[in-house]
A and B are shown apart, each in its own frame.
Chain A
Amino acid sequence: MAGKGGSTPATYSPSPTTDKKKPSLFNEDLARPDGRSFHQCRPAFFRTGAVNAASGSAYAEVGNTKVIVSVFGPRESKKAMMYSDIGRLNCNVSFTTFATPIRGQGSDHKEYSSMLHKALEGAIILETFPKTTVDVFALVLESSGSDLPVVISCASLALADAGIMMYDLVASVSVSCFNKNLVIDPVLEEENGQDGSLMITCMPSRYEITQLTVTGEWSTPKINEGMQLCLDACAKLAKIMRSCLKEAVSDSQE
C-alpha cells in the first residue's frame, strides 16, 4: 500500500517554527508538540450546509486541519459511462495552494480520491438511485496532519446532509507508530517522523470496517492495539457527527 507521499515535500526545508536541527517530538513528560497525551484526539468541529449550490455539504475542523466537502446529485451520469443498475459514486480530493506549509500547486490527489471512494462506497445504499451518479468534491483548506481521515468523516456528513441513503455514518481516525508508542490523530510533525501509520474507517453503529490502511512496519499485537484505539476514537467521533446532524435538522425545523 502506498504511503502518503503527496504530503511529504520532495526537498528538505527547515520548519520556521523549529530552530534545532533534530528536535525531539516528545519531551520528558511524554507530551506531544501540542500538549496532548498519546491517546487523545484533537478537538473536532463539524458543520453542515456550508455550500449553498451543493445538494449537501459539510465543513470540518480537527485541530488545524480544515476541510470542506460538497456533494452533488444524484444526477445524470455522463453519456460515456456504461449503463448501471445501481448508482455511481465519484470522489475527488484536492488541496488548495495555501493548504500546506510549503506553497504547492493545489494538485488533485488521485490516491486520496480512490481511498475516499473505497471508504464511502461500502456505506452508501447505491440501489436507491439507479443509473445516476453522486459526485463528492473534497477540498482541504488547511493541512495539519491526518487529512484523509478528516476528509472521510466530513464526506459522510455531507452525504447525510444531501439525503443520500446510507447504512451508517462513516468515521475515520488514524494512528502513528513511534518505536513502541502509539500516537492517535497525529499532527503534521508527528506524521513526518513516524515509523508507521494505521488508518481505520468504520461504521460505528454497525461496528464494521470499510477501509484499513497500514504503512510502515507493524507487529500483529501492535496492529490490534492500534485498531482498538482507532475504533474507540471512531465511536466518540461518530457521536459528535450525529449531534451535528441533529442540530442541523433542528435548525431547519424552526
Chain B
Amino acid sequence: MEEEKEAVMVTPGEVLGRTSDVKAGRGAYAALHNNTVYASLTGFRHTVPPAPDSSDLRPTVEVTGHKAHGPVPQPGSVVIARVTKVMARSASADIMCVGPKSVREKFTGIIRQQDVRATEIDKVDMHLSFHPGDIVRALVLSLGDARAYFLSTAKNELGVVSAESIAGATMVPVSWTEMQCPLTGQIEQRKVAKAAS
C-alpha cells in the first residue's frame, strides 16, 4: 500500500485496510472475524513503512493528531507524584503526571518499604525517605490492588526531586540521602533522585 500523502481524517469504526495488507498501530485495531483493520480514535490516518530488517512487509497504519483520553498509569511508565502520607511501612502518593503528560484527575499510588531502594531493603526507614508534600519520580510497578498503584523508587534516577524544608524553602540535594535547606543550612534525610543532566 502506498503511503498517504494527503492526511485523511478517520473516525472510530472506519475501515483502514485489510489485515493481510496493513498492521494495526496506535488508535487502530484488527477485527479478526472479517480480517479488517478499523480505527478506534478520531484523527488523521498515517501509514508507517515497515522496518527494513523486519520479515513482516506490511506497513503499520496509525491514527494520530487528536487528543487521546487523559493518560492512565501503565506498568513500566515513569510518573511524578506528590507524597500525601508517610507510614511505617509505606507511603501514599497522588500521581500527578504520567511521563510528560499531566493527569486530569489524580490516581493514588503507594510506595512500599521494599520498593524504596534496591539495597538494604530491610533497613529502610520510611520517615527518613519521604515527607508529606515531597514531589517524587517513581516507576509504576503494577496496577496494584483496588486501592492504589504500586510505585517503586528503587533506582538511582527515582526518588524525591523536590522537597520543602521546615523553613519553607525548596531544598537542594547534596547526596543521594540528604537534602539541605538554602536558608538555614538544615540537612534532612530523603531518598533523593539522581539529577538528570
How many angstroms between the C-alpha atoms of A73 and B103 in the bound complex? 10
Q: Given A55-B104, A76-B107, A125-B40, are A246 and B9 neighbors across the interface (CB < 8 Å)?
A: yes
Interface residue? B128 (CB, 8 A): no
How near does chain A come to B60, taking the closest CB pair, in angstroms? 17
Q: Are B69 and A74 in contact (CB under 8 A)?
A: yes
Interface residue? B66 (CB, 8 A): yes
Interface residue? A143 (CB, 8 A): no
Interface residue? B68 (CB, 8 A): yes
Q: Are A242 and B70 in contact (CB under 8 A)?
A: no
Interface residue? A209 (CB, 8 A): no
How near does chain A come to B101, taking the closest CB pair, in angstroms? 12
Interface residue? A130 (CB, 8 A): yes
Q: Hey, what's the 0/1 contact readout for A104-145 against B, CB within 8 Å counting as 1?
A: 000000000000000000000100011110000000000000
Interfacial chain B residues near A85, Cβ < 8 Å: 143
How many angstroms between the C-alpha atoms of A129 and B65 in the bound complex? 20
Binds A, one of B12-20, B50-58, B112-120, B164-172: B12-20
Interfacial chain B residues near A56, Cβ < 8 Å: 69
Q: Are B40 and A250 in contact (CB under 8 A)?
A: no
Interface residue? B97 (CB, 8 A): no
How many angstroms between the C-alpha atoms of A81 and B12 in the bound complex? 29
How near does chain B come to A161, taking the closest CB pair, in angstroms? 8
Binds B, one of A165-173, A179-187, A210-218: A165-173
Q: Are B13 and A166 in contact (CB under 8 A)?
A: yes
Q: Are A169 and B27 in contact (CB under 8 A)?
A: no
Q: Number of A interface residues, CB 8 Å?
A: 42
Q: Are B41 and A163 in contact (CB under 8 A)?
A: yes
Interface residue? A149 (CB, 8 A): no
How near does chain A come to B75, taking the closest CB pair, in angstroms? 10
- For B12, B38, B65, B146, which residue has the most chain A Cβ atoms within 10 angstroms? B12
Interfacial chain A residues near B108, Cβ < 8 Å: 76
Q: Are A79 and B69 in contact (CB under 8 A)?
A: no
Interface residue? A205 (CB, 8 A): yes
How many angstroms between the C-alpha atoms of A223 and B105 in the bound complex? 45
Interfacial chain A residues near B129, Cβ < 8 Å: none
For chain B residues 65-81, which have a beta carbon within 8 Å of chain A? 65-70, 72
Q: For the A-B complex with A129-B72, A167-B40 known, give 10 more contacts whose Cβ atoms are closer than 8 Å.
A: A73-B105, A76-B106, A76-B107, A77-B146, A83-B143, A132-B107, A162-B69, A165-B41, A167-B13, A167-B31
* A to B CB contacts below 8 Å, 8 in the list: A73-B105, A75-B107, A79-B146, A132-B72, A165-B40, A206-B13, A238-B13, A249-B44
